[in-house]
Amino acid sequence: MIITEQPESAETTRNGTANSDLPSEKIIDFFTARRALLEEAEAEDRLFGLEESVRLAAEQRRRYIRLPDPMADTVLLLILVAAVLLALVIIAGFG
């Protein structure tokens, strides 16, 4: 809790205030304390959001499936087709 000092000239003359547990020259600044708590809560929220985004990115990376290169697959398929055609031509030539 943040307590700020009040100048002596601002003392009150009421009897109830002078006899209270809290000296009249000290005022508890709830607004500053509230702002500090809100800033702390917002910082924690930002940190939680950052941790959540990092966790989601790591999870997506684990699910990442590496797909083969389609060009390499096409070339290998054409080589296979050429080999099958060559085998058919060779078989037809001896038959």
Contact (Cβ atoms closer than 8 angstroms) between residue 1 and residue 33? yes
Q: Is the pLDDT of residue 19 over 70?
A: no
- pTM, 2 dp: 0.37
For residue 87, the model assigns a pLDDT of 94
For residue 23, the model assigns a pLDDT of 60
State how far the alpha carbon of 11 is from the alpha carbons of 20, 35, 86, 87, in Å. Answer: 13, 26, 108, 109
Contact (Cβ atoms closer than 8 angstroms) between residue 17 and residue 24? yes
Residue 24 makes CB contacts below 8 A (sequence gap 6+) with 6, 11, 12, 17, 18
pLDDT band, very low/low/confident/very high, at 44 (cuts 50, 70, 90): very high
